[in-house]
Structure 1
Amino acid sequence: MRFHTRKWIKPQDLNPNRTLFGGRLLEWIDEECALYSIVQLENPKTVTKYMSEIDFKSSAKEGDIIEIGIEVLKFGTASITLKCEVRNKMTRETIISIDKIVMVGLDEQGKPKPHGKTEVEFVKDRLK
């Protein structure tokens, strides 16, 4: 799994228990998966279709640095299926894991648009 983004837990990210608010973390995960999928599918009209069970394993507190990891499980006709793990950057302790996130690229009418992709591409390889 490749860890792409780091976040610093700030006071505005906390719940009444003074730990990371789960909704904020899910927002960050959804955004990270969208950005990753847009780049992979080369389609700015990519949306979240499905998230499997979300497993909160530990928490984070103010001042912690977390990192969001994404792994591609498969490419569908118009979709990309990802796995996500968020961990504490310093301790490597898993905070949350999501086994399956499906992102779908859409056409101008909002219908699934086939992308023809079969494997992960890196931007540096596209520029050759």
Structure 2
Amino acid sequence: MRFHTRKWVKPEDLNANNTLFGGKLLAWIDEEAALYSIIQLENKRVVTKYMSEINFMSTALKGDIVEIGIDVVHFGRTSLTLKCEVRNKMTRETIVTVENIIMVNLGGDGKPMPHGKTRIEFVRDRLSSPV
């Protein structure tokens, strides 16, 4: 799993128990999945279609640094299926896992559009090297 983003848990991210609010964490996951998909599919029009069971395994406290990891599970014709793990950066303890997040590639008309991708691509591989 590649961990792309780190978030610092601040007071405004806490719930009534003074631990990281699950809704805030899910918003971070959704944003990370969208950004990852936009870059992979090279299209700004990508939406979340589905999130499978969300397994909260531990929590985070104010001041903790969490990191969000994303991996591709499957390339569909118009979609990309991802999995996610969020962990505490310092302890490496898993905070939450999501086994399937389906992101759909959209055309200008707002309808699903084939993306033509079949494997993970890195931005550096898309750039032509100088001659």
Question: Scaled by the length of structure 2, what TM-score is found?
Answer: 0.97
Question: Does residue 99 of structure 2 align to residue 102 of structure 1?
Answer: no
Shift of the alpha carbon at 1:16?
A: 0.4
After superposition, where does 1:1-128 map in structure 2 within 5 Å?
Answer: 1-128=1-128
- Indicate the SS of the match to 2:25: helix
Of all paired residues, the percent bearing the same amino acid is: 70
* Contiguous gaps of at least 5 residues in structure 1: none
Cα RMSD (Å): 0.4
- Indicate the SS of the match to 1:24: helix
Whole-Å separation in 1 of the counterparts to 2:127 and 2:113: 24
Summarize deviations over 1:44-94 as a string: whole Å, max 9, x none: 000000000000000000000000000000100011000000000000000
What is the letter of the counterpart of residue 100 of structure 1? N
Instruction: Tell me which stretches of 4 or more aligned residues in structure 1 moved more than 6 Å.
Output: none
Count of matched residue positions in the alignment of Structure 1 and Structure 2: 128
Shift of the alpha carbon at 1:12?
A: 0.2
What is the letter of the counterpart of residue 62 of structure 2? E
Whole-Å separation in 1 of the counterparts to 2:35 and 2:78: 16
Question: Scaled by the length of structure 1, what TM-score is found?
Answer: 0.99
